[in-house]
Amino acid sequence: MDLAPPAFFTYETPSAEIRTHFSTQPWALALFDDPTLRAFKTLSRLSPGSTFIGETLSTPETIRAWQSFYRMPSAPPLDPNTPRTQKPNTGELFYLLSLGTGVNGHNNTAHGGFVAVVLDEVIGAGCTHHCPRGMTTMTAYMKVDYRKPMMTPTHVLARAWIEDKSAGRKIYGRGVIEDGQGNILAEGEALFLMIDRSKIGLKL
């Protein structure tokens, strides 16, 4: 099973603006300085076709800021006392999000559907990054467990990793959303199917 780091990550140094946005949260700022993490562009925030993430949920009231990182498979976890459930050779994706109150379903509480969207996006990104050239993924199944309310406005960390990609077109992934203290707010498991990018109008 080849789970090497994807070749088409576009790595880049985070901008001073986004670093400043998260600078009030020491736990978040630590991610920017972690030598085991590499920052990369969040393509769904830039792609013309990804209007839901790139436009609808990219406002001062919704997802105010988003920074993505990749950790190589050989790197240790942030905290050796924190359990990790992913297989050791898959690598891990980290997504630092700043959320406003425009994602609410109740007063100062994020809508459950929004929480599911975040998990679908981050797990799906992890699956897509491990596709062969010319392929992408679409969600076939996802299960979400809601552990604690996600209070807003807030900063959260979403993590995602690949569980298995040995079954032909199928890629299985998992993800969690945590608060700044490492408490799990929600977790998801998903099955994504690899499809030819040209079949849905995407460039190869």
Residue-range domains of the chain with CATH: 16-200 (3.10.129.10)
pLDDT band at 182 (very low <50, low <70, confident <90, very high): very high
Which is higher by pLDDT, 173 or 9? Answer: 173
pLDDT band at 134 (very low <50, low <70, confident <90, very high): confident
Q: Using CA atoms, how far apart are residues 144 and 142, in angstroms rounded to an integer? A: 7
pLDDT band at 130 (very low <50, low <70, confident <90, very high): confident
What separation, in Å, do the N-terminal and C-terminal C-alpha atoms of the chain show? 23
pLDDT of residue 131: 75
pLDDT tens per residue across span 142-167: 999 999 999 999 999 999 998 887 77
Phi and psi at residue 164, to the nearest 5°: -165, 140
pTM for the whole thing? 0.83
Contact 138, 197 (CB under 8 A): no
